[in-house]
Amino acid sequence: MNQLLINMKLRFKAPLHITGDRRTWGASKATAISSLGAIGGDSHSFAIPASTLKGNLRYWAETLLRTWGQEVCQSPEPGAMCKDPSKICLACRVFGNPRYKSKLNFIEARAINKEVISEVRSGVSISRYRKTSMEQRLFFTETASSESGTEWTAAARGNFQTRQESLEATALIYLAAKSGPAIGGGKSRGLGGIESWQIDATIDGQSVSVDDLEKIWQSWVEG
């Protein structure tokens, strides 16, 4: 078995909103907080849930693979995802599906030792037909804002049968991270804009270089 560890560092150029399972005063939608507990003396800590990270990366990974003519199932509809265990697409091999457990476990992103403040923004629903604001559809969204240059750290780790499988998973996540312009809700209103997304990976403690991944990318592009 080969142990893969992928460390991620994200920087944002806009406030972030990911709807969480909680309520807060003055906001229609509260943003997510950490499932791992508070940091320091804070009563709570804002976070990007592991499921959101994984879903965002999978979306962009599938988009790229389809662009290059690679066969990819139709997620996230369970009935349209890979069923035959002998014919599992690359996206399902890395991210899993209801019938095939992912070999990677994702860890939520947090801004460790950095202040992240809550801001509430107002908005109004727009009629897609009339292209005008809708009556009585004012809403308030809580966002998490951090200073420019603040790094949000996350990770993914897992075990693969071969080094090649580990490299393929790293290559796919690396490209997906470099492709997505934003994460979370409110992207059409400018929220969640990503300034940079850095990926550093090791296999059995040995660093993975971009040179290790280039041949894999080239094989995907060539079909």
Report in angstroms the alpha-carbon separations of 48 from 10, 67, 103, 185, 221. 11, 28, 20, 11, 31
Q: Are 47 and 30 in contact (CB under 8 A)?
A: no
| pLDDT tens readout for residues 57-84 | 999 999 999 999 999 998 888 888 998 8
Of 7, 121, 116, 107, the closest CA to residue 52 belongs to 107
CA 112/CA 160 separation, integer angstroms = 29
Tokens of 144: 């998490």
- Of 202, 200, 152, nearest in space to 52 by CA: 152
Q: Ranked by mean pLDDT, which of 3-12, 28-37, 116-125 comes out on top?
A: 3-12
Helix (H) or strand (E) holding 21: none
Query: pLDDT tens, 137-169?
Result: 666 788 898 888 899 999 999 999 999 999 999
Q: What is the pTM of this model?
A: 0.87
Number of residues that this document lists for the chain: 223
The pLDDT assigned to 41 comes to: 46
pLDDT of 131: 59
Cβ within 8 Å of residue 82, ≥6 positions away? 73, 88, 89, 92, 97, 99, 100
Residue 16 Cα distances to 10, 30, 37, 47, 205, angstroms: 12, 11, 19, 10, 33
pLDDT at position 165, please? 95
